[in-house]
Structure 1
Amino acid sequence: MSASQIMAEFDDARLEDPAALARADEVLRRVAGAGARIRIEAEKSAEPIASLEPTKPRAIIAVGTEARLVRAMLEPTCPVPFVAWPRHGLPGWVGPLDLVVVMAPEGGSPDLVATVHEGVRRGCMLLIACPPGSAIAEYAGSRATTLLPTCTGDPLAVAVQMFHALSRLGLGPDVDPQQVADAMDKVAEECSPFVDLAINPAKDLALALADSQPLVWGGSVLAARAGRRVAEALRAASGRPALSADADELLIVLDAASSRDPFEDPFEQVVSDRRPVLLILDDGLGAEAVHVARNRLIAMAEGRDVRVSLISHHDGSEIERYAALLATGWFAAAYLEVGLTADDDFDRR
């Protein structure tokens, strides 16, 4: 995102302009192709996953890309202790009774390769998703290793296959990659550039966020995880701040928002004056505390004249809802960038 794009005014006409949308074709196609990438990875890893049998390790240690997403999915139901390990190496107690889960869709860093090598040296069971010709695949060879070959480089598509494998092992909830892909395809249809702004949820959301500072909140563990990913996409698309945080932290930011001046000139607005917009990611999951926190956020926003926008997906499994929330947010970020980009130098993320 260039400095000129950061300072550009949002033009909603670009969201219906074929030329402007054509400049964003690569980004929009990448988001729309998420379901297809899940199917490609499912076909690639079908054989090794089919060979898996239920097992019960002493503990599971997840490392690499999306380790925290694996934790968010498994912790509520996993029958054994689970650790998402963000650092180089493995905890000192890890050994042959433990399962090390590794996702490295792009082949992995030298530190991750060394961590896998350490797991092999200690005799751990390893479940690894990575390209067949990568350094991690080379160092992971052992009788206790199951390799899920990957080819798309898409972290979410690879994570879906890992969840499918873990469900086959009896260590996580049932996950059907085809249903997750269908959920993302449905979002791609609803948010297509060929769907009019009036009925396109992603274009409508981009319009709501056009001149604002997004405050993103998801109540359930997975919705909160999606919120962080959506905030990252919004920052990359606009070059502006976008905050994803817990309810208590967002309440402080909302409370500090001054009431809107009905006489202010929107054309004289500067970056520091951008008002917050509360973006809620709702997957219909979570305990009563989630509903209480949501009501508090909405009440505070309404009391400060802060707009509230919603991405809501209540159908399907937990991972289907997560994927749908994420896809909608990604489309909105793409349209936000379209609206802020006036020239032919569209920054392809």
Structure 2
Amino acid sequence: MNDFDDAALDDPQILAEADDSLRFLAGAGARIRLEAQILGKPDFEAGRRPRGVIIVGQEARLVRAVLEPCCPVPFVAWPFAGLPAWVGALDLVVVLASRDGSDAALVSATYEAARRGAALLVATPEDSPVWAAAEGTSTLRVPTATGDPLAAAIALMSVLHEVELGPDVVPSDTAEVADMVAEESSPYRDLSTNAAKDLALGLADALPLVWGGSVLAARASRRVAEALRRATGLAALAVGSEELLPVIEATGPRDPFADPTEHQASLRPVLLVLNDMGDSPEMAVERQTLLETAQAHDVRICALDAGQGSDVDRYVALLQKGLYGAAYLRIGSRRGGTPGQQI
């Protein structure tokens, strides 16, 4: 990894070269609104409640994390090919298709669900192979247009609320949260007033240890760690506190005479904490233990705050803040690519 150049974060020419990546992140709110605008009205049989719900495809685990605590029936995110043997006419299969709806495994799962007579709720671009595979009298197809799996998942969750299978998800509110993060993280804000640029500076030349206490914060932490790995080409770990504590505790004292050119050997861990207002009291204790241990071992601490709002609002706030930090980390380390578009 090259030396981190903090001056690059406020250099108009360098920022212009990274415009595609930053513009994609800034457009998250617009994509969420667009997907919500083209929703179909749920037309499942009135009062019908499935025996169980199984969801496949991109962002399936996010949807499960939001719905599982309040869904009145069993809710399963299925990461494997095909469908479980128990899925049948009494169940609902939810399909979150890939960007172009051509994933062969999802097409096969959709055909199989229709063949078994299960109700289908499919989010996919119109005229895609998955769209065609979802033909049936018990199918609701939600057209998607942006190619953004997160935006499509938020739209889909609002539909699941309409059929009384999940909490109230308001895409317009979530879009406002994404817009707020974009404004706070704008490249036109200099380092002194830009939390995302400051986060990049805090994570520079370090090995990030990313922790989120709640289920959704933990999900966001894994996405942020993915982006940080792409931004730096170095390791970034997102796991529970029981795995992070040994790493922190094994960190030795800082060596003021360490050779700064030996990057990989001299990199120290940095603890990045994703604070979610939805944390339980147990998670608060876990967080405090992590913070105290990091301080005792001279491990730098960075934090992202979810703020207020629904579960989905807080998740998007944490995710977008982390992705902006990764984007600026990539810019400061002068690496090419667009990490945000790959999430």
- The answer to whether the superposition gives a TM-score over 0.5 is yes
* Superposition deviation, residue 266 in structure 1: 6.1
| Correspondent of 1:239 among 225, 233, 241 | 233
1:3 paired residue number: none
* Superposition deviation, residue 54 in structure 1: 5.5
1:212 paired residue number: 206
Higher mean displacement: 50-59 or 183-192: 50-59
Cα 1:186–1:65 change in 2 (3 A) is same
2:151 paired residue number: 157
> Which secondary structure state, in structure 1, belongs to the residue aligned with residue 177 of structure 2?
helix
1:89 paired residue number: 82
What TM-score does the superposition give when structure 1 sets the normalisation length?
Answer: 0.94
Gaps of 5+ in 2: none
1:347 and 2:337 are equivalent in the alignment: yes
1:327 paired residue number: 320
Cα 1:140–1:161 change in 2 (3 A) is same
* Superposition deviation, residue 66 in structure 1: 1.1
In structure 1, distance between residues paired with 2:293 and 2:328: 28
| Correspondent of 2:263 among 257, 270, 273 | 270
1:199 paired residue number: 193
In structure 2, distance between residues paired with 1:238 and 1:109: 29
What code does the residue aligned with 2:337 have?
Answer: D
Higher mean displacement: 143-152 or 101-110: 101-110
In structure 2, distance between residues paired with 1:14 and 1:67: 37
* Superposition deviation, residue 272 in structure 1: 2.4
1:248 and 2:242 are equivalent in the alignment: yes
> Which secondary structure state, in structure 2, belongs to the residue aligned with residue 267 of structure 1?
coil
* Superposition deviation, residue 105 in structure 1: 4.0
> Which secondary structure state, in structure 2, belongs to the residue aligned with residue 128 of structure 1?
strand
In structure 2, distance between residues paired with 1:50 and 1:88: 28
Q: Over residues 70-115 of structure 1, what are the superposed CA-to-partner deviations in whole Å (9 max), with x where a residue is unaligned?
A: 1111111111011111111111111111010110141141111101
1:169 and 2:159 are equivalent in the alignment: no
In structure 2, distance between residues paired with 1:221 and 1:54: 30
* Superposition deviation, residue 241 in structure 1: 0.6
| Correspondent of 1:179 among 168, 173, 181 | 173
Query: 4+ residue runs of structure 1 moved beyond 4 angstroms?
Result: 49-54
In structure 2, distance between residues paired with 1:51 and 1:182: 30
User: What is the correspondence of 1:282-321 to structure 2 with a 5 Å cutoff?
Assistant: 282-321=275-314
| Correspondent of 2:219 among 210, 225, 228 | 225
User: What is the correspondence of 1:73-88 to structure 2 with a 5 Å cutoff?
Assistant: 73-88=66-81
In structure 2, distance between residues paired with 1:177 and 1:52: 25
Higher mean displacement: 206-215 or 104-113: 104-113
1:35 paired residue number: 29
What TM-score does the superposition give when structure 2 sets the normalisation length?
Answer: 0.95
Q: CA RMSD of the aligned region, Å?
A: 1.5
> Which secondary structure state, in structure 2, belongs to the residue aligned with residue 278 of structure 1?
strand
8 Å CA contact 1:113–1:139 kept in 2: the answer is yes
Cα 1:161–1:273 change in 2 (3 A) is same
What code does the residue aligned with 1:120 have?
Answer: A
| Correspondent of 1:337 among 330, 334, 340 | 330
Cα 1:50–1:199 change in 2 (3 A) is farther
Higher mean displacement: 327-336 or 252-261: 252-261
In structure 2, distance between residues paired with 1:108 and 1:247: 38
1:130 paired residue number: 124
In structure 2, distance between residues paired with 1:142 and 1:79: 25
* Superposition deviation, residue 51 in structure 1: 7.9
What code does the residue aligned with 1:75 have?
Answer: E
2:52 paired residue number: 59
Cα 1:203–1:266 change in 2 (3 A) is farther
Gaps of 5+ in 1: 1-6
8 Å CA contact 2:58–2:149 kept in 1: the answer is yes
| Correspondent of 1:119 among 113, 124, 127 | 113
1:98 and 2:91 are equivalent in the alignment: yes
8 Å CA contact 1:64–1:108 kept in 2: the answer is no
